[in-house]
Chains A and B, each alone.
Chain A
Amino acid sequence: MNKPKTKYVGLEKRKAIAGYLFISPFILGFLLFMVKPFFQSLYMSFCNVELGAATFKMHFTKLENYYFCFRIDPEYTSLLGTEITRMIIYSLAIIVFSFFIALILNQKFKGRALVRAVFFLPVILSSGVMLGLESNNQLIAALQQSIEDTTSGVSVTDALQTILRTTGVGVKAYEKVFEIIDNIYDVALASGIQIIIFLSGLQTIPRSMYEAADIEGCTAWESLWKITFPSISSLFLVNWIYTVIDFCMRSDNKVIDKIQVIMIDNLNYGAASAMTWIYFLIVIAFVGITSFFISKGVYYND
Chain B
Amino acid sequence: MTKNKNIQQVSFWERNRKSEGYLLKKKIMEIAVVICRFILLFGLCFLILQPILNKISVSFMTEPDLFNPIVISIPVHFTTDNYRVTAEIMNYSKGIVNSLVISFTVSLLQIAVCTIVGYGFARFKFPLKNFWFACVMLVILIPPQVISNSLFIHFRFFDVFGIIKAIRGEALNLRGLPIPYYMMSAGCMGLKNGLYIYMIRQFFRNIPNDMEEAAYVDGCGTFKTFFTIMLPEGKPIITSCFLFSFVWQWTDGFYSKMFLGTTTLLSTSIARLVDSIGAYIQRVQGIKTTVSVAYSNCILGTGTLMLVAPLLVLYLFAQRQFVESISSSGIKM
Contacts and interface: CB of A to CB of B under 8 A. Distances in A.
Contact of B37 (A15, A104, A124): A104
A173 to B, nearest CB: 24
B252 A128 contact: yes
Given A30-B189, A33-B187, A138-B293, A124 B120 contact: no
B275 to A, nearest CB: 12
Contacts of A27: 132
A214 to B, nearest CB: 12
Interface in B189-242: 189, 197, 222-223, 226
Given A193-B326, A248-B143, A23 B222 contact: no
B297 A115 contact: no
Interface stretch (B15-23, B75-83, B144-152, B283-291): B144-152
Contacts of B170: 54
B251 A127 contact: yes
Contacts of B328: 200
Contacts of B124: 15-16, 18-19, 22
A211 B222 CA distance: 46
A30 B197 CA distance: 13
A17 to B, nearest CB: 8
A199 B247 CA distance: 22
Interface residues of A, number: 91
Interface residues of B, number: 89
A9 interface: no
A229 B126 CA distance: 36
A223 interface: no
A15 B133 CA distance: 17
B270 A133 contact: yes
Contacts of A199: 327
Contact of A29 (B41, B145, B188, B297): B188
Given A23-B120, A184-B47, A235-B331, A284 B141 contact: yes
A249 B271 contact: no
A54 to B, nearest CB: 5
B70 interface: no
Contacts of B184: 29, 33
Nearest to A21: B120
B297 A196 contact: no
B71 interface: no
A28 B308 contact: no
A269 B222 contact: no
A280 to B, nearest CB: 5
Interface in B302-333: 304, 307-308, 311-312, 315, 319, 322-323, 326-328, 330-333
Given A123-B247, A130-B307, 15 more contacts: A16-B126, A20-B126, A23-B117, A30-B135, A30-B188, A37-B150, A37-B151, A38-B146, A121-B48, A128-B252, A129-B252, A139-B294, A245-B140, A269-B149, A276-B145
